[in-house]
Amino acid sequence: MTTPTTSKSILRRGVVIAGVATLGIGLAAGIADGALISARNAFAQPIQLSGVQTQLPSFADVVEKVKPAVVSVRVKTRVAAASAEDGEGGVQGLPPGHPLERFFRRYGEENQRPGRPQPRQGMSQGSGFFVSQDGYVVTNNHVVQNAAEVQLVTDDGRTMDAKVVGTDPRTDLALLKVDDGASHPYVLLAKGKPRIGDWVMAVGNPFGLGGTVTAGIVSAQGRDLRSGPYDDYIQIDAAVNRGNSGGPTFNLKGEVVGVNTAIFSPSGGNVGIAFAIPANTVETVVAALKEHGSVARGFIGVQIQPVTDEVADAIGLRQARGALVAEAQPDGPAAKAGIRRGDTIVAVNGEAIADARALTRKIGGFAPGTKTTITVWRDGREREISFEIGRQPAA
């Protein structure tokens, strides 16, 4: 006999089944809670990775060694100033017709004797570093330009007076000298260029915060900023800001690989693109400034332009190389030796010239009076022309 199943029994059975299911969920939740508690207990202890060695270098030992040789450079400048109308766009740099223009003009007239504009004094700051025990210091030319007084502040807070020995605006370098008879900590210039990807460290005085250390890598070589004919900058991504100018960039041996001189920045602050003058350029310029107070560069008296692929095809060169002579100055050494417009200079003393910039740097590196042989491409063949390098005009 079959017992009919009532809705109540189905309901009761459903309750039992539901109860079992509920119990199962509770057990599962209990297990999960236990696992979570265990996990929390596991993370309650500090994470320690025994036996694991980091691959990134520490700069601490290098910093301790080189930091005493880096100084902050404080400069008082004297600038001939002004009549009330000086300045771009009008008085005090205001646009013509600005509501404050009359006020500044009147204020300036009241604070100047008639007909005798008073000189203005300004302040600038940068960085530098000792390159000799007897007190020679390297910095940027733009840091000490128009300097009336120069003071150096050491890492331990001492202040000392310095004089400008010489400057070289073409490479933006300057040499200072401290004549206090003391023995100063100094650093060495690296003999070769760093490789792209090498670690470097910048030390300087950004925003007046002396003794600041930043680190990064060499991100490019041979940068041309169009700031001068001898541009050959090292690009680094170590943080460099205003006030770092003239400060050194070191390799991991504590050698100076470059002098920080410029940044690329839409905002005026660090965006990871900074430029340093290579140590080999610094060495040459410093030696000349120390001996003569200025740099005498070679000069051949030609205007040159790059050799493009189209130009190379037109003159019969297999590849674009060398520097095309656009004009030879009539009284210049090159013209006197027979170099003329349309010649392409492809080698100097047997060394191939890659482009116009390379030729400029090569000739500029010769001392005036040096006997030189230049190879030119003319009428489909190479010709060698020998002559004496002249002296580059000061202007």
Query: Which letter, b or e, does each residue of 7-27 get, where b requires 16 or more Cβ atoms within 10 Å of its Cβ?
Result: eeeeeeeeeeeeeeeeeeeee
Q: Which residue has the tokens 């204020």?
A: 107
User: Is 245 annotated in the active site?
Assistant: yes
CB 130 within 8 A of CB 184: yes
- Radius of gyration, alpha carbons of the chain: 34
Strand partners, 250: 201, 256
CB 357 within 8 A of CB 285: no
Candidates 127, 231, 245, 343; catalytic one: 245
CB 123 within 8 A of CB 147: no
CB 183 within 8 A of CB 166: no
Coil/strand/helix, residue 107:
helix
Which letter does DSSP use for residue 90 in this model? S
Candidates 168, 172, 237, 343; catalytic one: 172
Candidates 142, 168, 231, 237; catalytic one: 142
Chain centre distance of CA 355 = 23
User: Is 379 annotated in the active site?
Assistant: no
User: Is 98 annotated in the active site?
Assistant: no
Picking from 169, 165, 171, 173, the residue whose alpha carbon sits closest to that of residue 134 is 165
CB 369 within 8 A of CB 388: yes
Find the DSSP H helices in the chain.
7-43, 60-66, 101-110, 141-144, 279-292, 309-315, 333-337, 356-364
Q: What residues are labeled active site?
A: 142, 172, 245
